[in-house]
Structure 1
């Protein structure tokens, strides 16, 4: 058994959450992937995956083996990249996680440029507002907003985001514009549900030089940025989102900022990655992201 190929196949199955999808990305028959995983489990003497017709999950042994395989494959990638004759062409596969609005607005439109400059780097992009565990989920780097918790992750500052309170002209015609934070009690608001807790996020303001966080009552709540934005555009209520996400609609007049004097302080945006996975390809991608995002975001 080729242990390195077996490790690579196992990691790909876990990442794809499917034998069929893993087989497609590896250009292998599904039967070959299935046989390789069965042989690997037999060799190790323990099951690595729990299989059902609809789901695929790791056993406890599988979780430990996955972490080891990812570290080993990252070390191999780093070693190959460091000694490669093509020193100006880093290569490897990178899993990236980022907020959807950042991915769609900044990263995806520049992917053709990235491919031309680094043709040997394969990117797997996850666009989601869901917080991810880089170590457990095998993600190589992620773009995050807000103050970062202390961790072993390496962080690079990209810029900062300003949060705005907005409404559509349709809403303002029907309900008027709030003149103060206290007036919000008489307005309709849309809440954004935290993907980490499942609870509505507090609304954030700055009053008399102090940051203020307050819960808001709402008839509607969503947990995805595009859907949240669409609720605001439809006039269902006031919304609070980043200036970056709202800017195109503010320019077109489809949204209007309200309570501008009570804007909360900007929050930082960063790209983070585990030091243990800092291959040449990952460092190259991080440097590229830093360069293009800093040109689009205020510092």
Structure 2
């Protein structure tokens, strides 16, 4: 039995939902597809698919085998590609993970440019701040803020995100403009951000000259998504630390104002992260190179003009 061919047949049946469509994708007869899958089940001594006259359903063992077979096939295809003349035209499915703020503000608006350059690469983009099991979920690459906790992953620093502490005009009108970070443990409040899976709220750290202040602020709401975090700040639920590239328009319009502008907030490093078994992939390589160029073009490898800007705070104070 050609086990790799049988694995390809099984994977296509799972993805298309029936043998007829799978046979068309692979250019085989339906009888050949059926024989390949049956031989694979006999070899594994387990049932991978439940068949009825109308549909094909994956068994529990079949679902587990599908995930692993998908990784094996992808690695074989990538190895073939890296050693073939087709390396100059990378192709295939690319599984990418990143937080919603990076997807919405950085990557998705520019993806059409990437597609024109590499039309044969198809991107499955997972969006969210959750913890990802890269191997189990067959993730090729991720864009992450902050140093990756998993030391087994390959991480390349590609830039940083400058942060600014701000609040809505509605919040300032209600509670006034704070003068010191310690007030957020007393008579002011922040929108809090909690990390998964620990559910631990992140402390806020401010620096000024030789002084450093770390606070665990009072809060009405705590969230675990940057876009929801910004919505909560705009709604007047508290002050918050937000990426400069997210809030530039809202600061310019006056919907948000800079808070404690003479205090510095440390920038968040940006990393491209991928499992060690993906670093030779041609499609991963070209996507990383494109992402690095994009980040540079957006100025995320240089100091953002809004970061630690006293001028922004002075303009906001005059408006108030």
* Partner SS for 1:289: helix
Q: How much does 1:276 deviate?
A: 1.4
Residue 16 of structure 1: aligned partner: none
Residue 306 of structure 2: aligned partner: none
* Structure 1: runs of 5 or more not aligned: 14-18, 50-55
Which residue among 268, 284, 287 is the counterpart of 1:282? 284
Q: Report matched runs for 1:79-118 at 5 Å.
A: 79-84=80-85, 86-118=86-118
Contact residue 47 and residue 62 of structure 1 kept, 8 A: no
- CA distance, structure 2, for counterparts of residue 12 and residue 143 of structure 1: 29
- CA distance, structure 1, for counterparts of residue 82 and residue 68 of structure 2: 21
Q: How much does 1:284 deviate?
A: 0.9
Residue 231 of structure 2: aligned partner: 230
* Partner SS for 2:269: strand
Q: How much does 1:286 deviate?
A: 0.8
TM-aligned CA distance change 1:273 to 1:177, over 3 Å:
same
* Partner SS for 2:142: strand
Instruction: Find out whether 1:295 has 2:297 as its counterpart.
Output: yes
Contact residue 41 and residue 48 of structure 1 kept, 8 A: yes
- CA distance, structure 2, for counterparts of residue 7 and residue 239 of structure 1: 50
* Structure 2: runs of 5 or more not aligned: 23-29, 50-57, 303-320
TM-aligned CA distance change 1:211 to 1:152, over 3 Å:
farther
Contact residue 182 and residue 215 of structure 2 kept, 8 A: no
Contact residue 71 and residue 277 of structure 1 kept, 8 A: no
Contact residue 81 and residue 282 of structure 2 kept, 8 A: no
Instruction: Find out whether 1:194 has 2:187 as its counterpart.
Output: no
- CA distance, structure 2, for counterparts of residue 270 and residue 172 of structure 1: 35
Instruction: Find out whether 1:151 has 2:144 as its counterpart.
Output: no
Residue 181 of structure 1: aligned partner: 181
* Partner SS for 2:192: strand
- CA distance, structure 2, for counterparts of residue 236 and residue 63 of structure 1: 44
TM-aligned CA distance change 1:12 to 1:180, over 3 Å:
farther
Q: How much does 1:66 deviate?
A: 3.7
Once the two structures are superposed, residues 147-206 of structure 1 have per-residue CA deviations (whole angstroms, 9 ceiling, x without a partner) of: 234623322222111222210011111111111012212012211121232232222222
Residue 135 of structure 2: aligned partner: 135
Contact residue 87 and residue 282 of structure 2 kept, 8 A: no
Contact residue 155 and residue 272 of structure 1 kept, 8 A: yes
- CA distance, structure 1, for counterparts of residue 259 and residue 285 of structure 2: 41
TM-aligned CA distance change 1:225 to 1:8, over 3 Å:
farther
Q: How much does 1:212 deviate?
A: 4.3
* Partner SS for 1:94: strand
Contact residue 95 and residue 123 of structure 1 kept, 8 A: yes
Larger radius of gyration: 2
TM-aligned CA distance change 1:170 to 1:122, over 3 Å:
same
Once the two structures are superposed, residues 7-47 of structure 1 have per-residue CA deviations (whole angstroms, 9 ceiling, x without a partner) of: 4576689xxxxx6xx327x9937xx9xx8998455541246
- CA distance, structure 2, for counterparts of residue 286 and residue 124 of structure 1: 15
- CA distance, structure 1, for counterparts of residue 229 and residue 294 of structure 2: 26
TM-score by length of 1: 0.80
Contact residue 5 and residue 36 of structure 2 kept, 8 A: no
